[in-house]
Chains A and B, each alone.
Chain A
Amino acid sequence: MSGAEKIQVKVTEITPLNELVTRFRFERVDGGQLPTFSGGAHTVVEMQDGGITRLNPYSLMSDPFEQSSYTISVRRDDQGRGGSLFMHRQVKLGDEMTISYPVNLFSLDLRARKHLFLAGGIGITPFLAQIKQLDVLHGQWELHYACRNQALASYADELAERHPHETHIYYDDQKQAIDLKGLLNGQPLGTHVYVCGPKGMIDWVCNTAQAQGWPADCIHYEEFLAPQPGKPFEVHLKASGKTVYVGEHESLLEAIEREGVDAPYLCRGGACGQCETVVLDHEGNFVHRDHWLTDEEKAAGKKIMPCVSRFEGKSLVLDR
């Protein structure tokens, strides 16, 4: 079996927060307790969308030590392949769903003397759980949260109210911006910086910190990639002897699973490395989109991450 352990849950609360973001609350179908987790963990939510099974990762934002329910916040992506649209439009109160055990690819470095959080938009969600965890551990932290405008600033008010000294909110439409250089320069030795948000923000923070002499081990980021649509292509799976057609709106991993071939996975967002698959032969070009393979590996064309990457060309043979 692939992926993390599964839990059967029912939807016990659906709370629209603003025009784009809705919060979902899950409780176990059997009434039991959910596992505790560590701040920054995500769960993979299974969606039965017509004939397609979608598996999307969402950061757990509830108190990690609270076992009666989990909550996630989903931002509607009108351009995406439909996972967030399914959550927004199809999921109803009382629905039963399958989610995975928590998996953490963005955990706190508990040695840090201070945690510096930088969030952009919906990237706030993992920090909500981490902040609750640090409350219990009496950790030192500071949050800088950039939002488009006040109306879309999910959880900004409650953070500012509960943690007035630690929380700093920036509104794009008011021309407020994080003074990143100054912020990074002033941090005491032993500070770790964490960033979650759009790709541009992640790159900006990582590059600036590195240029200012921050050690790589003190810089942490999480960006889940959603699989992007692309041209259809064919793939031959040598170990299972099957040829699979990958449609425009499904990922290579989803197509492999549709044919009943068991393939390992965990995050389904190009970050964890679990689905790494050996390329036996190919004629054409890879569309590598993951964060896992190195640039050299991507250029070598011997490996592919089927959760987010695609292929364009004549033939592709995988060892699966």
Chain B
Amino acid sequence: MTIQFNDESFRDDYTFRNSEWAIKRFPFPFHEDSYMYSVNMEQHRGGPEGSVYEKRFDVDEHYVSEMKDRAIVLDQDPLRCQSLPHMTLAGWDLLELIMVSKSEDYPDLFELHRNGNQWRWINKPLGIDHSFTFMDETTLPYGPMEYITRQAQGDYAVLDQRDDMLWMDAGMVTTQADWSLDFDIGMNFFEWHAPVPLAHEMGVFQRALKFLLNIQQGAPARRLNWTMTVNPLLDTSPENYSKWGIQKTTLTPENIGRKQHLRVELQTFFRLPRSNALVFPIRCYLCAFEDLMTVPKWGRRLHRVVRDLPVELATYKGFINNRPLMLEYLSQFDDGLPTSPGVWPDLETEPPLTK
């Protein structure tokens, strides 16, 4: 299908909206009526047609506007994109991976023509037609990682693998769930996850690291993560928390359905061939509570998950103060009926709300 790109904003007047198509394909992260950490990894080799899992790098109606938002963030704070000197080769690997994947998966939107190291890249949605020499930084306006991730939705953490450990040595991070690349760059896997509560004690990170270290070329993996955001704000960075933190206090029973968003990260993991680094694309999807409630199964389930989440997790995810207001709203959409297993909306088979 040809995608109609929205003209929308993720700041100030917040004109971001999901179309009905985008709501139905939203990666709802709860496969049952409760949530706890797990190393919920699976292979990333396609998924149901039209789902966000189908392509290696999902492109949707928000693409053009998200790229504009990224450009604004980088203009205000170039430290959101950094690469330690030894990571340039991984940057070229990433550029190749994204260009090849997008041109193969979306031939109507992206084209890549290669003649040896002479490459021509055409990005129709962003109006780019650029010829350059692969592996020659002087032929690109930015470093290879920055160049390509200014044209790809989601954050990118590029991890060096050394001494049986992963190191966050490069990244493009402008749509993050409250962590700072500038602060965390150079940290190892356990260090950059240090602020996450409970999971260390549960051994989640030890198991996850073991899995990630063994991801091989040609065998990418994926998982989902989630949090909550008031207003469709992509840039929930610690850097700007001093400015956006106050927005969390603007919820009322009247506006919560529109303002409160479930924020889901589709995290994928690819081994990069030339550098042996690992890239960790973190794609952020936002959906307003009122849009989620159009799917009866999701309405019932979200209420139960938010209600039963341990205090530590609600605190870490930053919505402990707003939880009572959220439950008051969500309870209207929970009639106590059982829900079908799995994440899919099941609109044809799940009963409509009976209250």
Tell me if chain B binds chain A.
Answer: yes
Which A positions have Cβ atoms within 8 angstroms of B? 4-5, 35-38, 41, 64-65, 101-104, 107, 109-111, 133, 136-137, 217, 266, 272, 274
Given the contacts A104-B276, A110-B89, A110-B160, A266 and B217 also touching, CB distance less than 8 Å:
no
Distance in Å: Cβ of B287 to nearest Cβ of chain A: 35
Cα of A266 to Cα of B162 in the assembled complex, Å: 18
Cα of A111 to Cα of B277 in the assembled complex, Å: 13
Residue of B nearest to A272 (CB): B214
Q: Which of B86, B218, B275 contacts A35 (CB 8 A)?
A: B218
Distance in Å: Cβ of B44 to nearest Cβ of chain A: 13
Distance in Å: Cβ of A14 to nearest Cβ of chain B: 26
Are B274 and A38 in contact, with the CB atoms below 8 A? yes
Residues in B neighbouring A102, C-beta threshold 8 A: 217, 273
Are B89 and A137 in contact, with the CB atoms below 8 A? yes
Cα of A137 to Cα of B87 in the assembled complex, Å: 11
Q: What are 21 residue pairs bridging A and B, where the CB atoms are less than 8 Å apart in the complex?
A: A4-B216, A5-B217, A35-B218, A37-B217, A37-B274, A38-B273, A38-B274, A41-B276, A64-B274, A101-B216, A101-B217, A101-B219, A102-B273, A104-B276, A107-B161, A107-B162, A107-B276, A109-B162, A110-B89, A266-B214, A266-B216
Are B217 and A35 in contact, with the CB atoms below 8 A? yes
Are A35 and B273 in contact, with the CB atoms below 8 A? yes
Given A4-B219, A35-B273, A111-B86, output 5 extra A-B contacts at Cβ < 8 Å.
A36-B273, A36-B274, A41-B276, A101-B216, A104-B276
Distance in Å: Cβ of B300 to nearest Cβ of chain A: 37
Are B274 and A65 in contact, with the CB atoms below 8 A? yes
Are B219 and A5 in contact, with the CB atoms below 8 A? yes
Residues in A neighbouring B214, C-beta threshold 8 A: 266, 272, 274
Distance in Å: Cβ of B183 to nearest Cβ of chain A: 20
Are A110 and B219 in contact, with the CB atoms below 8 A? no
Chain B positions 211 through 226: 1 when the CB is less than 8 Å from some CB of chain A, otherwise 0:
0001011110000000
Are A5 and B216 in contact, with the CB atoms below 8 A? yes
Residues in B neighbouring A36, C-beta threshold 8 A: 273-274
Distance in Å: Cβ of A185 to nearest Cβ of chain B: 24
Distance in Å: Cβ of B264 to nearest Cβ of chain A: 29
Chain B positions 81 through 120: 1 when the CB is less than 8 Å from some CB of chain A, otherwise 0:
0001111010000000000000000000000000000000
Residues in A neighbouring B160, C-beta threshold 8 A: 110
Are B217 and A4 in contact, with the CB atoms below 8 A? yes
Whether a CB of chain A sits under 8 angstroms from the CB of B254 is no
Are A37 and B275 in contact, with the CB atoms below 8 A? no
Distance in Å: Cβ of A85 to nearest Cβ of chain B: 29
Name, among B84, B160, B163, B273, the residue most crowded by chain A CB atoms within 10 Å (CB to CB).
Answer: B273
- Interface of A (DSSP majority class): loop
Cα of A4 to Cα of B161 in the assembled complex, Å: 18
Residue of A nearest to B275 (CB): A38
Given the contacts A217-B162, A217-B163, A4 and B218 also touching, CB distance less than 8 Å:
yes
Name, among A36, A104, A107, A110, the residue most crowded by chain B CB atoms within 10 Å (CB to CB).
Answer: A110
Residue of B nearest to A5 (CB): B218
Distance in Å: Cβ of A11 to nearest Cβ of chain B: 22
Closest A-B pairs by Cβ, 8 of them: A110-B86, A5-B218, A38-B276, A107-B276, A36-B273, A4-B216, A111-B86, A101-B217
Distance in Å: Cβ of A156 to nearest Cβ of chain B: 27
Cα of A64 to Cα of B276 in the assembled complex, Å: 11
Residue of A nearest to B167 (CB): A111
Whether a CB of chain A sits under 8 angstroms from the CB of B67 is no
Cα of A161 to Cα of B118 in the assembled complex, Å: 30
Distance in Å: Cβ of A297 to nearest Cβ of chain B: 15
Are B162 and A37 in contact, with the CB atoms below 8 A? no
Distance in Å: Cβ of A165 to nearest Cβ of chain B: 24
Distance in Å: Cβ of B187 to nearest Cβ of chain A: 15
Whether a CB of chain A sits under 8 angstroms from the CB of B135 is yes
Cα of A109 to Cα of B162 in the assembled complex, Å: 7
Given the contacts A137-B89, A266-B214, A37 and B273 also touching, CB distance less than 8 Å:
yes
Residue of A nearest to B273 (CB): A36
Are A101 and B86 in contact, with the CB atoms below 8 A? no
Distance in Å: Cβ of A100 to nearest Cβ of chain B: 8
Residues in B neighbouring A136, C-beta threshold 8 A: 135
Residues in B neighbouring A65, C-beta threshold 8 A: 274
Cα of A136 to Cα of B86 in the assembled complex, Å: 14
Cα of A109 to Cα of B274 in the assembled complex, Å: 13
Distance in Å: Cβ of B54 to nearest Cβ of chain A: 20
Which of B119-173 touch A at CB < 8 Å? 135, 160-163
Cα of A257 to Cα of B163 in the assembled complex, Å: 30
